[in-house]
Amino acid sequence: MELSLWKKTPVRICCGFIVALLVLSAALLVQPFLGANVAPGAATYSRGILRLALPYHADHHGTGQLTVEVLDPEDHVLGRIEKSVEVMEGSSLWREQIKLDKPFSVP
């Protein structure tokens, strides 16, 4: 009786193959999304506000002046932010919102 439980039948082999194929397919489909959180940055625009999320790495702690300008194709300033910032040593994510003076259409 114990031998019959371990006996391989075509149905068991087929089911095992299908399960292995599904696991492999899922792993291949998920792999491109695993690195999505290390993208160079993200920007979204909605209702006249540009939201930025930019990763950075600082070799040491420090302060400085941050200036960001949003330009149109003719180099006219659509929005600007200038502020003092303090960064800590290591990697982090800088988030900011810039209200644009003049809305523009996104193609």
Phi, psi of 21 (to 5 degrees): -65, -40
User: What H or E segment, with its residue span, contains residue 63?
Assistant: strand 62-71
What is the extent of the structural domain holding 26? 2-36
In a domain, 15, yes or no: yes
Taking the C-alpha atoms of residue 18 and residue 13, their distance in angstroms, rounded to an integer, is 9
Q: Confidence class of residue 15 from pLDDT cuts 50, 70 and 90?
A: low
In a domain, 25, yes or no: yes
> Do 48 and 95 sit in the same domain of this protein?
yes
> Do 24 and 42 sit in the same domain of this protein?
no
Per residue in 18-74, pLDDT tens?
777 677 666 666 555 444 444 567 888 888 888 888 888 888 888 888 888 888 888
> Do 51 and 66 sit in the same domain of this protein?
yes
> Do 95 and 48 sit in the same domain of this protein?
yes
> Do 53 and 66 sit in the same domain of this protein?
yes
